[in-house]
Structure 1
């Protein structure tokens, strides 16, 4: 039930605000400390992917639409960047070999990036652009995918911030397009693991419960999204970012002082 509710609550926030869920699942599972870093990455990716599938299907009749050109280009770039990020992550795991050290390193980077995103999103009216260059969009997607794959998260907050800042999207619009990008990035991440290291060495006994939670969360989050305005989604996004920063900082402090 614990893992079901982690998947459910993370996916509701993920579908509603475009956070994806992985950025919540990763630090929460680090907090409980039941699994090592590689297993957490797979649990997160599978849960977020199931959320994205249901959320996109539920949003078909939504008044908010997906910007297919820009979002698909970002998705393509994120797939390529995701492969590089996974290779880099696997290399560091082999070199360091200590799961706790890698976890603290990831949590530290996530906390710093979340602070930057919070500041940028809060001041987005002063720094909003409209990017049209296809090459630049692919590069943006590549960077997003590499960061998300290396950190073991869906990349939702990064997607939302980039879509708001560089493509002038509103909160609900950015959230849906973020989930569209996450669908492809998490699919590629799972396929990459399937055809490289595989899943045989991982303890995935909790995965079915998290997937069910992710699917239900994706449905509920998308349902709520249709009933709220941009201002409410922005508030949920900011609250989610603050919570993520707090959990990551706590995980780091706990590692060094407990």
Structure 2
């Protein structure tokens, strides 16, 4: 039964995540936490697999459809995302060792996620000033920050990806969503490789991946299709609505833990 619930959640979350550039994990993580069927560690792993699969499918689908990318931005941001993803997973594992109480770990993740959600919403809502950095250093620093947060929070990418790419490089939202999905692919790839080389996958219920991976593929395909259809204003609206929904889910989860 839990597998079926996870399947439905991932299809819907990854469809929205592929359209908005958030990656789906920003919905998957808090909803799985709300369901409460698995540990924080397991939820972060399932979310990472789902978002990694979605990003691979969505990126491939967009390339096949003829979408053009600036490969200089992708290569350097993605390199930074790989390094940040490794660092984020190392810090996450350290937090797991430091705090035996999973509630504290969840509160840390929720707190940082809420901060990124508020920044992303205010940025897109009030059209803050953009920068137009073009140096490799900024691309690398951006990817490092995004990969670190994605891996640490277990949300894949989240709204901070799109907002920061627009903020630093003056990218239109539809371009930013494409680059965000590519960045998510590399950050989650590095997270999964780090897990494989350190703790391994034996501590997870891998049978759940029979639900997670097909759902992620379906969501990625639908989301990539819709991303090519929707105009920029529609993407911005979806982006902001999802932020509000996820913000309330995270706040509810946080209050529930504290109470």
Superposition TM-score, scaled by structure 2 size: 0.95
Q: Identify the match of residue 71 of structure 1 among 65, 74, 92.
A: 74
What CA distance in whole angstroms lies between the structure 2 residues aligned with 1:165 and 1:136?
A: 12
* Aligned equivalent of 2:251, options 241, 244, 249: 249
1:117 aligns with 2:120: yes
Equivalences for residues 179-218 of structure 1 within 5 A = 179-218=181-220
What displacement does 1:92 show? 1.2
CA RMSD of aligned residues (A): 1.3
In structure 1, stretches of 5+ residues that fail to align are none
- How far 1:168 sits from its partner (Å)? 1.5
Separation of aligned partners in 2, 1:152 and 1:42: 7
Give the counterpart of 2:135 among 133, 136, 159: 133
What TM-score do you get using the length of structure 1 for normalisation?
A: 0.95
- Of stretches 203-212 and 239-248 in structure 1, the one that deviates more from structure 2 is 203-212
Q: In the alignment, is residue 240 of structure 1 matched against residue 242 of structure 2? A: yes
C-alpha distance after superposition, 1:137-190 (max 9, x if no partner): 211211111121111111231211111111111121111111111111111111
TM-aligned CA deviation for residue 63 of structure 1: 5.6
Q: How has the CA–CA distance of structure 1 residues 64 and 172 changed in structure 2, closer, same or farther, with 3 Å as cutoff?
A: farther
Matches within 5 A, 1:11-30: 11-30=14-33
Contact 1:156 1:182 in 2 (8 A): no
Identify unmatched segments of 5+ residues in structure 2.
Answer: none
In the alignment, what sits opposite 1:170? 172
| 8 Å CA contact retained: 1:65, 1:173 | no
- Structure 2 distance, partners of 1:61, 1:201, is 37
Shift of 1:31: 0.5
Alpha-carbon distance in structure 2 between the residues aligned to 1:66 and 1:162:
17
Aligned residues of 1:154 and 1:182 also touching (Cα < 8 A): yes
Do the aligned residues in 2 keep the contact of 1:156 with 1:178 (CA within 8 Å)? no
Contact 1:43 1:204 in 2 (8 A): no
2:102 pairs with 1:99:
yes
3-state DSSP class of the match of 1:226?
helix
CA distance in 1, matches of 2:29, 2:14: 12
1:39–1:204 contact (8 Å) kept in structure 2: no
Deviation digits for residues 60-115 of structure 1, max 9, x if unmatched?
24464222111221110111111111111111110111212211221122112201
CA distance in 2, matches of 1:98, 1:180: 34
Moved over 6 A (4+): none
- CA shift at 1:246, angstroms? 0.6
For residue 121 of structure 1, report the CA deviation from its aligned partner.
2.0
C-alpha contact (below 8 Å) 2:110/2:250 kept by paired residues:
yes
Instruction: Please give the alpha-carbon distance, in whole angstroms, between the structure 1 residues aligned to 2:166 and 2:210.
Output: 34
For residues 200 and 63 of structure 1, the distance between their equivalents in structure 2, rounded to whole angstroms, comes to 40
